[in-house]
Structure 1
Amino acid sequence: MNKSDLIDAMAADAGISKAAAKAALESLTENVTKTLKKGDKVALVGWGTWSISKRAARTGRNPQTGKSIQIAAKNVVKFKAGAGLSDAVN
């Protein structure tokens, strides 16, 4: 399912227009992004939790040349599924 399919499904399930469903989905993604950027967690009880984890700088290897390269430190997004979501897919 891609973003367009999700918008169509949301509109049909909620009985709203596709424009309203698109606005709701974009609002959700923007607010999750803003919250994670601040370093906070986003938790939807029963569905899951998004959080930020810091990945340290490290030395890697270019597989084409075999030379060592420095990989910069960065923040990565983690998602942990909640019990409701895990039960629903199993």
Structure 2
Amino acid sequence: MTAKTEGAAMALRIAVGIVGGYALACAVAIWISYVLPLARADAVLTGQLISFIVYAGAVLWVFAVRSALRATVGISLAILAFSALAWLCAPAISA
């Protein structure tokens, strides 16, 4: 790899870690707030607290995998999975 390619891969990892980690943490927090059998405020607070751990883990994982492409695909699939779970677990909105 050339220095230019390595720099681009590092920039991609940083962007995926920041943006993708944030999106994953949000999706996990929303899903957790729906599935916990607590009062709404307690479930949301617990989801937000757990999201800090998820965000840190996502950023660490992005730099632990072999390639930037694998990091991008992995974070994207996790975001998609937890967003789908949150959507499926969302309560029905009554008008």
Q: Give TM class, smaller chain.
A: 0.3 to 0.5
TM-score, normalised on structure 2?
A: 0.32
Greater Cα radius of gyration, structure 1 or 2: 1
More strand by share: 1
TM-score, normalised on structure 1?
A: 0.34
More helix by share: 2
